[in-house]
Amino acid sequence: MNLKDFEAMKSERWRQIRRIFDDAAKLAPANRAAFLRENCKADEDLHREIELLLSSYNNAESFMEQPAVGKVAGMMSLSGFLCALERRRCGYSNSD
């Protein structure tokens, strides 16, 4: 496998993670486990990655609900959260 194939594979994996995460995040927390079992099948790494993302997303939402950040809470969208995670995953800092 050459570097181009490897990068394409990583990109496809990220699209898969993002698609399942987007759909799972829209569900009530009580419905997510069954959804992940169905959509991740036997891929335990995929299941674990999405659970970690959902946990981080839930923590970010609860943090943003604090009164000190009032108006900012509404600005934190799922898309913005995923973009920030992607930048961190690729090694970019917030100052880049």
pTM, 2 dp: 0.59
Q: What is the mean pLDDT of residues 46-75?
A: 68
Contacts 24+ apart (CB under 8 A), 35-44: none
pLDDT at 71: 47
Distances (CA, A) of 77 to 2, 39, 41, 84: 36, 23, 28, 11
CA–CA separation, 29 and 9 (whole Å): 30
pLDDT of 46: 92
pLDDT, tens digit (0-9, with 9 covering 90-100), for 3-59: 766 676 788 888 999 999 999 999 998 999 999 999 999 999 999 999 998 988 777
